[in-house]
Amino acid sequence: MQQAINLIQSSENILILSHKNPDGDAIGSMLGSAEGLKSIGKKVKCFSKDIVPSVFDFLPEVSQIKNKINPEHQNLIVLLDCALFSRTGIDGIEDIVSSFDNLLIIDHHPKNKTECDNVKNCVEIIDHKTSSTAVLVFNLLKEMKINISKDIANCLLTGIFTDTGGFQHNNTDSESLQAAAEFMKKGSRVDKIAKNIFSTKSLAAIKLWGIALERIQTDPENGMAVSYINKSDMDNLGVKEEELMGLVNVINTISDAKFSLLLTESMNNKIKGSLRSEEYKGIDVSRIARSLGGGGHKLASGFEINNTDSSKSVEEIRKAILKNNL
Ligand code: 5GP
Ligand code: MN
């Protein structure tokens, strides 16, 4: 922590990055840390390769997250909710990092390699037992005696709220609830965050959820509950991919299934897989995700498969998952 503070203190210009397809923890942690660092006089820029889903439009200063990196020299890159360069999805990320003086990585995903080996001034704050990156950012800001404004509280509470599935997943611990209580004391409201994130769906999106739920198949042998959404399903109903956030968690409520999988055909000719399970079911879905080139947590993980030539059907991927991993 002290090494991280030293890096920040010696850096005037800071660029904050996160992973591709940013989620609430990535966005909340970026915006919360940007606000905190600006309050002590740092010049801060935030970048995301992919657009910020519109459910997060309620967050303060969300428009400061840009989709273009300004090539001007910066001192410090802060990489949040993602410890591996490949997860940023940014082409040439290694070159960008090497043009900076310092790198700080803050993340809560399990990992088996470090990017710090090839970077001169690099500090990692990584704890896979922490519910969310937002909690790690909160601890750092507190250690730096940075005042937690209502805006910072709203951003970081959104990160904790989304990564704990609205304080329902097994990563919900006393530390995240204590942090949430601190944020509420600053004026942040869990009910408002919940409403913005979970209760702002279009009728078309709910109908598409219905189609996906209708399509669920379960496999009694391995315990998988699987469904899928094609690009044409989204096009036909005019639903954006971001409106599928949370759907896999509904599939995961089937108590007889050991784990759930949602396959989504993305815009960029990729098939995205989202895997979920529950502690009592005794499955580590990150093992499956890793074997398919992805990663994540034991009970919530994901992967992406290139499908540029549209050669793979959802059915083929489903079979491949069964053959390789179970
Ligand atoms: P989701 O299914 O909500 O997109 O992702 C669930 C979890 O899996 C998140 O913790 C996320 O970081 C991780 N995850 C999702 N997709 C990928 C991926 O393509 N690669 C890696 N390494 N992790 C992923
Ligand atoms: Mn996270």
Q: Could you tell me which residues are beta bridge partners of residue 57?
A: none
Domain locations in the chain? 2-198, 203-325
CB of 87 shorter than 6 A to ligand 1: yes
- Amino acid making up residue 296: G
In CATH, the number for domain 203-325 is 3.10.310.30
pLDDT computed for residue 286 by the predictor: 95
Cβ neighbors of 289 (< 8 A, separation 6 or more) are: 273, 275, 295, 296, 301, 302, 303
Contact 14, 44 (CB under 8 A): yes
Rounded-to-integer distance, Cα 229 and Cα 97, Å: 36
DSSP structure class, residue 64: G
- Tens digits of pLDDT across the chain (326 residues): 999 999 999 999 999 999 999 999 999 999 999 999 999 999 999 999 999 999 999 999 999 999 988 767 779 999 999 999 999 999 999 999 988 889 999 999 998 899 999 898 999 999 999 999 999 999 999 999 999 999 999 999 999 999 999 999 999 999 999 999 999 999 999 999 999 999 999 999 999 999 999 999 998 888 999 999 999 999 999 999 999 999 999 999 999 999 999 999 987 788 999 999 999 999 999 999 999 899 999 999 999 998 876 677 777 888 777 776 55
- Name the closest ligand to CA 246: 1
2-198 falls under which CATH superfamily? inorganic pyrophosphatase (n-terminal core) (3.90.1640.10)
CA distances from 29 to 65, 208, 221 (A): 12, 30, 40
What is the gyration radius of the CA atoms in the chain, in angstroms? Answer: 20
Residue ID of nearest Cα to ligand 1 atom 6: 301
Closest CA to 258 of 228, 288, 234: 288
The C-alpha angle with vertex 89 and arms to 105 and 252, in degrees rounded to 5, equals 85
CB of 297 shorter than 6 A to ligand 1: yes
Task: Compute, in angstroms, the gap from residue 189 CA to the centroid of ligand 2.
Answer: 20
CB of 300 shorter than 6 A to ligand 1: yes
pLDDT computed for residue 313 by the predictor: 76
| 6: three-class secondary structure by DSSP | helix
